[in-house]
Structure 1
Amino acid sequence: MKIICSTLNAKYIHTNLAIRYLRAYAEPEFTVELAEYTIKDPAMNIVSDLIAKKPDVLGFSCYIWNIEETIKVVSMIKKINPDIAIVFGGPEVTYDTVEWLERHPEVDYIVVGEGEIAFKEFLVQFASTSPDLSKVPGLAFRKNGKVKLNLQAGKLDLKEIPSPYRFPEDAPYLGKRVTYIETSRGCPFSCQFCLSSIEVGVRYFDREKIKEDIRYLMANGAKTIKFVDRTFNISRSYAMEMFRFLIDEHVPGTVFQFEITADIMRPEVIEFLNQEAPKGLFRFEIGVQSTNDYTNELVMRKQNFEKLKRTVTMVKDGGKIDQHLDLIAGLPEENYFSFRKTFNDVFEMRPEELQLGFLKMLRGTGVRLRANEHDYIYMDHAPYEILGNNVLPFEDIIRIKQVEDVLEKYWNSHRMDATIEYLIQYVFESPFDFFQEFGAYWDSKGWARIGHQLEDLFKRLHEFLKERNIGNLEIVEGLMKVDYLSRQKYSPRKPWWDSRYSKKELGSKYQLLLQNPLIAGPAFKALELSEKELYKHTLLEKIPFDIGIFQTTGEIRPIESVLVVYYDPTGKGPIISSFAS
């Protein structure tokens, strides 16, 4: 019997943990082949590859990001070979299961909930000469034209699950893809927009086995290891033990990513990480979602924002760990102006990344079950994103999407941090207002529908600020030059701005610098550049403030200056200074 477990990942760099658990648990009684694709792959290519493998049983791991494409694939497969048994599993089909089978005759079976025991028992029955599908826990199937749904089994003892990380064919790809690792299942919280709230309690895998798996993954080249635990730090003693282990035994260049609940993290844990963790070893994802107390109450989300802010601030001050904070627009009773406050509350902490998402009415969640209470309208198909509710009309959702677009391009990408910091502090009323005004302008120009190079991003921001007629535009232009040039490895051939020194002016500035390199600072003098090296590797531009003072204190001291940017010929990055013109 040929068995294939497959899925369509969102990106090539992702790996699917679920199908690896199924394979590991089914062995050695059954041999399961894995076949992963992406949602960007043409359906015909996926179908051709799977048909060529000649499966008898073909299982798919289903999520909101791949369900529509997966259905297209299995519809084609069933037309080509109706004898292939199609099995679905995963969070997207665990709820409204009967409806899925009634709507999609191309799907033969659905495994609900945890799949390890159920899938293996399904294979046992499928291979039997007298199969009895009623013995398969959590299986939905058709019998006499009607859909039957068996009761699920009790919770699996996670300490008994074999490792899904040791398949030899995965080893060559560990350094090229994100490796997902699970040390617990379940969540202690009851947030009504999240599927994790449905499973009560938290269960842990065997700690020593997990450590051995991590050692194996690092030894075989894994670079990015992401823990999928819903609340990694719910047990302080467990989190501390794992942090200590990872600090002590990590391989240089490896990054570990966690989802943490920030308001329950104790200061002594953060102090330990700030003192002991190497810079860049850890990365935190923190779901804030909303700072509106009433909204959080409605979705049964317990959150102490002051304690959350304390954690984020302490971690940021430590300078060791990048933080990715999440917001959800469209939660109950959070209108446009309330969301503006939420955004500004969170942006005030200056996270390295701020992810702005929109509420998705996931099957099985409380917000979907009680959607009528807040007049929600939402997409009929995955990802079930909201289109409006009683306090947030579609027009306001579009406005917030404009914010999301430029936030990703201009803050999360860190292409011009100094410029954005100045604009939100001195030019616009708040961070949200800057991103909203610029996002609306961006949208009005049709830029969301076309591609852009780095230079385009600077030109488009400059055009917006110029048309808005902001004060101190020359200061902002200077900051934009610094941001742009500091992110180049080599001297750019044609910078995005037009205002440059004439050939005569440039020659006199170079001669001045050649005669007295100390005017650009001790670091520049220490380079001991020859005249040839100076002209070849150094860029001079106009700037209306002293860059040395700005780099040291953050103060903008208006003074006509010459920006000096030396680009190391080995591509190590620039040394930036200035001198009074």
Structure 2
Amino acid sequence: MKTVLASLNAKYIHTNLAIRYLKAYAAPEFDIELAEYTIKDPEMNIVTDLYNRKPDIIGFSCYIWNIEETIRVVKMLKKINPHLFIVLGGPEVTYDVPEWLERLPEVDVIALGEGEETFKQLLEALNRGDSLDTVFGIAYINEEGKLKVNPQRNKLDLRSLPSPFRFKEDIPHLSKRVTYIETSRGCPFSCQFCLSSIEVGVRYFDREKIKADIRYLMENGAKTIKFVDRTFNISRSYAMEMFQFLIDEHRPGTVFQFEITGDIMRPEVIDFLNKEAPPGLFRFEIGVQSTNDHTNELVKRRQNFEKLTRTVTMVKQGGKIDQHLDLIAGLPEENYDSFRNTFNDVFALRPEELQLGFLKLLRGTGLRQDAKKYGYVYMEHAPYEMLSNKVLSFAEIIKIKQVEDVLEKYWNDHRMDLTIEYLVQHVYETPFDFFQEFGAFWEKQGWSRIGHQLEDLFKRLNQFLIHQQIEQLSIVQGMMKWDYLTNQRYKPRHSWWKDGISKEEKQQVIHSMAANPSLVSREFAILSLSEKDLFKHAAVERFPFSMEKYLESGEILFNPEYGVIIYNGDKMEKKTFFLSQKKLVHALTASI
């Protein structure tokens, strides 16, 4: 019987680890085909491809991000071929099984929980024509039309699992996609909004096998390897061993990502990473979720924010590891004002990325069971996102979503760090207030429904600040110009502002710099650039204050100054220089 395991991934760059474990475990008795698509692919295209493979059995890996698209594919396939045997598995269908089987008569079997041994036993039973009663860990509607849920088997010994990474068909894609790897299953914590809280204890894979897999992946071109362990650093000795291995064995261009629990990270581990890890090799994802102690207590989340702050700060000071911090809006008893405090607490750490998510009432979690207790109203279908609760209205959810929209564009993408830093420190009472007011303005203008290029983002922030009538407008506009020019790889052909220097003024600046390079700096003089070179490769702009002084000390001195950014594509590093207006006037007077 030909078997295909399929998954609809969120993006093309993602890969599905689960179906690879199932394929590896079923071998050599069963040769399973893998079929991966994305949730953006037209369903007819997916159905056509699967049909052309001529399977007898298809298994789908189901999650909150793909379940609705998967259901539509399943229904179409069953209409085309009523004899096709369809199996669903994954965290989304493991819970509320009666509801799923009632809703989806097209599905023959749901595999519950850990699926490697279950799926292989199911294939063996189908191959022999045995009753489904003999297969542990599955649910189905029997011949009498009654729900049958077979007891689940004991947990697997992860050390015995075969590698899911040794398939030749995966090799051409390793450099282009994210490779997911797990070194453990389970989580030591009991956060009631997370499915990982359901499995008690942590089980580990064989360390040497994991290391061999990582070597194999790097040898075959893998560039981004993401560890999906819920708490990678729960064991200090294990984390240290793996960090050391990855530092010793890594290849240039490879990045390893981990989910880290920040408040249990020991300072000596961070010291080790700050000294030994090459820059950019590691990336940490840290779930903060909330800094409200009462909220954390209600969801059984043990977190010491003081220690977490220490960890994030030490890692940031090391300058080698980017950090992605997560927040969840809508947790119990976290109202709008409390979430504002949470946001400001975490933004104060200045993570490279701050992700603002919204609570999802996942099937099987304690918080979904307690939904009525906290007055939750949430979506009926995946992703089950909350719409309101006793302390947070839908109107307030909308406001926080406005924050999320501009946070992603203006902080996480790091298009104008200098500008945003000044705004949140000197113009607005708190960072949250800036993102909230800008987000509300953004929504009112209808910009959330249209696309935008880089220049559009600068224009729209400028329009917002003019509308706000802030006192420091000329300063902020100067910083925006600087951010725009310094974040370009090549000299921009056009600028988004209309009040730039005139052509004659630019000619004066460039002529003076070429004629008197020492007037600028010794470093500039060493470059020996002609006027022609500067006209071709330099962008020149006048600022109402000394940008050089501000970059050095954060002090605003209202001494007008020219900033000169020299671009040369990939041939040399972009260089920036400054020339005060006073020096320019002196040079021009001397030349006369």
User: TM over 0.5: same fold?
Assistant: yes
Shorter-chain-normalised TM-score: which range?
over 0.9
Question: Secondary structure of 1:436's match?
Answer: helix
Given residue 300 of structure 1, which amino acid in structure 2 is its aligned partner? Answer: K
2:267 maps to which residue?
267
| Inter-CA distance 562–331: structure 2 relative to 1 (3 Å threshold) | same
Given residue 298 of structure 2, which amino acid in structure 1 is its aligned partner? Answer: L
1:531 maps to which residue?
531
Q: CA–CA distance in 1 between the matches of 2:500 and 2:350?
A: 33
| Inter-CA distance 275–569: structure 2 relative to 1 (3 Å threshold) | closer
1:453 maps to which residue?
453
Given residue 21 of structure 2, which amino acid in structure 1 is its aligned partner? Answer: Y
Q: What do the CA deviations read for 1:328-348 (whole angstroms, capped 9, x no partner)?
A: 000000000000000000000
Q: State the shift of 1:571 in Å.
A: 5.7
Given residue 141 of structure 1, which amino acid in structure 2 is its aligned partner? Answer: Y
Q: State the shift of 1:508 in Å.
A: 1.7
Q: CA–CA distance in 1 between the matches of 2:81 and 2:512?
A: 79
2:57 maps to which residue?
57
Question: Secondary structure of 2:559's match?
Answer: strand
Aligned residues: 580
1:133 maps to which residue?
132
Q: State the shift of 1:550 in Å.
A: 2.6
1:110-509 alignment to 2 at 5 Å? 110-129=110-129, 131-143=130-142, 144-509=144-509
| Inter-CA distance 223–570: structure 2 relative to 1 (3 Å threshold) | closer
Contact 2:485/2:539, CA 8 A, preserved across alignment: no
Q: CA–CA distance in 1 between the matches of 2:271 and 2:556?
A: 33
Q: CA–CA distance in 1 between the matches of 2:250 and 2:157?
A: 28
Q: What do the CA deviations read for 1:161-214 (whole angstroms, capped 9, x no partner)?
A: 000011011011000000000000000000000000000000000000000000
1:70 maps to which residue?
70
Question: Secondary structure of 2:147's match?
Answer: strand
Q: CA–CA distance in 1 between the matches of 2:282 and 2:570?
A: 29
Given residue 418 of structure 1, which amino acid in structure 2 is its aligned partner? Answer: L
Contact 1:488/1:573, CA 8 A, preserved across alignment: no
Q: What do the CA deviations read for 1:216-240 (whole angstroms, capped 9, x no partner)?
A: 0000000000000000000000000
Q: CA–CA distance in 2 between the matches of 1:112 and 1:571?
A: 56
Q: State the shift of 1:557 in Å.
A: 2.4
Question: Secondary structure of 2:8's match?
Answer: strand
Given residue 184 of structure 2, which amino acid in structure 1 is its aligned partner? Answer: S
Q: State the shift of 1:504 in Å.
A: 2.2
Given residue 153 of structure 1, which amino acid in structure 2 is its aligned partner? Answer: R
Question: Secondary structure of 2:201's match?
Answer: coil
Question: Secondary structure of 2:166's match?
Answer: coil
Given residue 575 of structure 1, which amino acid in structure 2 is its aligned partner? Answer: K
Contact 1:415/1:483, CA 8 A, preserved across alignment: yes
Question: Secondary structure of 2:420's match?
Answer: helix
Query: Which deviates the most, 466-475 or 500-509?
Result: 500-509
Q: What do the CA deviations read for 1:364-417 (whole angstroms, capped 9, x no partner)?
A: 001100000011000000000000000000000000000000000000000000
Contact 1:537/1:569, CA 8 A, preserved across alignment: no
Given residue 539 of structure 2, which amino acid in structure 1 is its aligned partner? Answer: L
Contact 1:37/1:46, CA 8 A, preserved across alignment: yes
Q: CA–CA distance in 2 between the matches of 1:344 and 1:225?
A: 31
Q: State the shift of 1:507 in Å.
A: 1.9
% identical aligned pairs: 68
Contact 2:3/2:32, CA 8 A, preserved across alignment: yes
Q: CA–CA distance in 2 between the matches of 1:555 and 1:83?
A: 74
Question: Secondary structure of 1:371's match?
Answer: coil
Q: CA–CA distance in 1 between the matches of 2:186 and 2:97?
A: 21
Query: Which deviates the most, 571-580 or 109-118?
Result: 571-580
Q: What do the CA deviations read for 1:522-574 (whole angstroms, capped 9, x no partner)?
A: 33222110121111111211112223223333333221011111111446453
1:552-567 alignment to 2 at 5 Å? 552-567=552-567
2:86 maps to which residue?
86
Q: State the shift of 1:318 in Å.
A: 0.5
Question: Secondary structure of 1:29's match?
Answer: coil
Contact 1:182/1:229, CA 8 A, preserved across alignment: yes
Given residue 487 of structure 1, which amino acid in structure 2 is its aligned partner? Answer: N
1:100 maps to which residue?
100
Give me the CA root mean square deviation.
0.9
| Inter-CA distance 81–569: structure 2 relative to 1 (3 Å threshold) | closer
Q: CA–CA distance in 2 between the matches of 1:474 and 1:518?
A: 30
Q: CA–CA distance in 2 between the matches of 1:571 and 1:545?
A: 31
Contact 2:188/2:200, CA 8 A, preserved across alignment: yes
Given residue 579 of structure 2, which amino acid in structure 1 is its aligned partner? Answer: F
Q: What do the CA deviations read for 1:454-483 (whole angstroms, capped 9, x no partner)?
A: 000000000000110101211111111110
Contact 1:270/1:315, CA 8 A, preserved across alignment: yes
Query: Tell me, which stretches of 5 or more residues in structure 2 are unaligned?
Result: 582-592
| Inter-CA distance 69–283: structure 2 relative to 1 (3 Å threshold) | same
Q: State the shift of 1:514 in Å.
A: 1.6
Question: Secondary structure of 2:555's match?
Answer: coil
| Inter-CA distance 570–263: structure 2 relative to 1 (3 Å threshold) | closer
Q: State the shift of 1:520 in Å.
A: 2.7
| Inter-CA distance 251–96: structure 2 relative to 1 (3 Å threshold) | same
Q: CA–CA distance in 1 between the matches of 2:482 and 2:435?
A: 21
Q: CA–CA distance in 1 between the matches of 2:522 and 2:55?
A: 69
2:3 pairs with 1:3: yes
Q: State the shift of 1:15 in Å.
A: 0.3
Question: Secondary structure of 2:387's match?
Answer: strand
